[in-house]
Copies of this chain bind each other. A is one copy, B any other.
């Protein structure tokens, strides 16, 4: 019994409108795009078309494979209305364990699929890798490619949609020495999540946890449930086409009301909100603002409906981008994208590898390392016990010193057991968060690849005299907009990445240094005991 059922919440597909309808372009020469790790989504529809055979007919559905994650199909508007009460009111969350069952392959190190093989809600793996699962699993509930196409990506690129975007809706991209970047807000803010409360409805038949969110700019507390986060997450994915949205922590199957779970879940939601609040585009968006501030049920419904009908989501999001006046060199952009693609793939591998090593290391600390020191400690204690049979005065001090040394090694063993909480666990958390974020990037990169491929196709048509030069120039200019957005987001990702990994490494090393310094001090005080022995 699915308790938070997928809420179909897409606007209806745009009417057929343009001769170029789909992203069925041949692969670019961009190196790594076509390997296994990147093939799970979308590429089939691209690959199935013969190269150099542009398809001017319109078909909105971009191929069966892209439909996997699409929930609701043509009924979404209606379902969204119907889903409302279901959303704000309640179903019994305790029965949610029978939700869609997908194996979360992306949890297994080395599978290299970026989580793309499991587009629907993933079941938390409780049987293996249980140490990983405390961080939740990657949520893949959304097929971006499909949405992008359906919501007018092709129409945007081919120039068949236009809009007078109001000043307040414009999102500014600026040139920096590191390339295009979002214009960072002058007044960043924060949002604290606190006081999780178990609440119930229908005379206790239905219960859930409500978290209290307080944004720093308003200082007014709002109450939100996991399902509201889930709704927000889907909205963000639908709207911000070139922005990978980090997955939410996974939904729990059992123990969801236990204190440990609730506080851990809250901490993970805090991490997610922190990242969204730091994002220069998302943090300023209407939908996010609505989520952070709305306290009135009626207004919530209205805002929710408005967000779901947002004119500038999906493909049309690019209409709102205000790019620098410069134009981009398409080959240069492709080169940058190729490098970034290698970066994302490499970093994804790094994350899996480091998570595995860290996970093993944590086990070793609580098991073999601890035991090894306690074996040594125990042997010193036993030796002292034997030496204690010699009652001569000159022997007693040595015996006591050796006994103390035994205690010292036992305590060092305990220190090893506790140490992962002091350094490793924070590192694992960051690694896991990035593994989740990286898993959402290939979709964004594929969209951009599709746009570039389409633009190049148009150039070829121009060369063959089959498309007017001015039309092609406009297509390329609009492809630039998509590139600008994608590059600005890459820039943001790298900024965050540098800050996060600097912080992570510093915290880890601080913890390690304190650990070895504490061991040293313990051993020094053991050594002192021998001075009078």
Contact = CB atoms under 8 A, between A and B. Distances in A.
Interface string A345-367: 01101100110010001001000
A379 interface: yes
A502 interface: yes
Copies of this chain: 2
A346 to B, nearest CB: 4
Contacts of A387: 347, 497, 501
A437 to B, nearest CB: 14
Interface stretch (A139-147, A229-237, A516-524): A516-524
A386 interface: yes
A379 B398 contact: no
Interface in A374-433: 375-376, 379, 382-383, 385-387, 389-390, 392-395, 398, 401-402, 405
Interface stretch (A23-31, A127-135, A254-262, A506-514): A506-514
A178 interface: yes
A70 interface: no
Interface stretch (A8-16, A167-175, A525-533): A525-533
A189 interface: no
A88 interface: no
A469 interface: no
Contacts of A513: 520, 523-524, 527
A346 B516 contact: no
A343 interface: yes
B343 A505 contact: no
Nearest to A531: B506
A488 to B, nearest CB: 13
Interface in A84-133: none
A339 interface: yes
A342 B390 CA distance: 10
Given A354-B379, A505-B530, A523-B512, A346 B494 contact: no
B494 A405 contact: no
A498 interface: yes
A372 interface: yes
Contacts of A342: 389
Interface string A260-283: 000000000000000000000000
A118 B398 CA distance: 34
A501 B372 CA distance: 22
Interface string A419-453: 00000000000000000000000000000000000
Contacts of A339: 389
Nearest to A524: B513
Contacts of A178: 392-394
A527 B510 contact: yes
Given A350-B383, A509-B523, A516-B517, 5 more contacts: A346-B385, A353-B379, A392-B498, A502-B530, A506-B527
Interface of A: 177-178, 339-340, 342-343, 346-347, 349-350, 353-354, 357, 361, 364, 368, 372, 375-376, 379, 382-383, 385-387, 389-390, 392-395, 398, 401-402, 405, 494-495, 497-498, 501-502, 505-506, 509-510, 512-513, 516-517, 519-520, 523-524, 526-527, 530, 533
